[in-house]
Chains A and B, each alone.
Chain A
Amino acid sequence: MPEIKNIIKGCLSGNRRDQELLYRRHAARLYAVCLQYSGNDDEARDILQEGFIKIFENLVHYKHEGSFEGWMHRIVVNTALEKYRSKHNLYRVDDIDLIPEQDAAQETEDYAGLEAVDLLDIIRELPPKYRMVFNLFAIEGYSHKEISEMVNISEGTSKSNLSRARIILQRKVSLYTGLKKDAVNG
């Protein structure tokens, strides 16, 4: 199996085989990320396509010092973020639709039995603004301050959106979990 350094080198020198190899090795993982950030398949495909074009264009910038998968992952997330910003005509609106953080997560659930595809399905059903904040905060690990700059909302709105996302997600998870239990029990 060719090492990633050799594949990158081949891509930089225009080797078609290495370009395809890079794509095929990472496309499935990155497509899952695209689906996680998008509400429909067409949008996810666009993000993956644009993301990979940017990956190839910016390959010379990668310095082999960190995780290459992480580097590609961030390009795809940024592409999703750009798509989100362009679709949602965003102007900074502070403190709208705020709910206290402590309102979130009121239920205790046993999440056993939920699989990745279930979680993906659940997260994609979130409204776009909740999905984006939840992804950036809970999955990517950005702070509310960073998210507020990236999405052009206030920190308060970011927190509020996160709380709402969590509430919705918990309800969906409970529903899925219950349904799965029912299915198992007959």
Chain B
Amino acid sequence: MIVANRKPFEEIMEMLKPYKKILLLGCNECVTVCSVGGAKEVAVLASEIRLSRLKNRIPVEIKEHTLERQCDPEYALSISSFVNDYEIIISMACGCGVQTIAETYREKYVVPAVNTTFMGSSEEHGVWREKCQGCGNCILDKTLGICPVTRCAKSILNGPCGGSQGGSCEINKDTPCAWQLIIDRLKQMNMMEKYLEIQPVKDWSTSRDGGPRTRIREDLRI
């Protein structure tokens, strides 16, 4: 899922400063799962904004609404009947959601309430960790399900480096060395021969280095 962090309250209030009628838009997908922008977080932020405005005696009207998915034009269009009743839209979705809403309602000022941070998974309740960088050329078959592109600070493909100490990365002892994890897993699976295969220089053009990416499936287009 896409993991995000809520922006500092002060920054949010600064963006909303000149506006009295606010549409606060949540998303039922990734940001709900990582507890940052679902219906619950929309209600909490709305309450905080109202409290702050009440304290400062500045009137505010907030409409709380959560879409099934903000990154989909079909769902984005579902708010068209009331979107013009509000002066500003503040989205609690990831950057993809914010952009879809902004593209759908070109005459509206759309601002983000969260900082989209990474693609990750839940490790336990309340803990999310980065697991994928979307490099466009997956090598998890060679590394037995542990991604060195993401989880190694240097993204090296033939590791570990000299900074691996006692199973931890030199950047932080709480960050496991991805290559230590890979070797442990190769040993456990009795597949150490895979470790001997030297990985060639990676072609990063499939990643962000090749510019923004687009995927098209002609058969699905209407």
**Is chain B a partner of chain A in the same complex?**
no
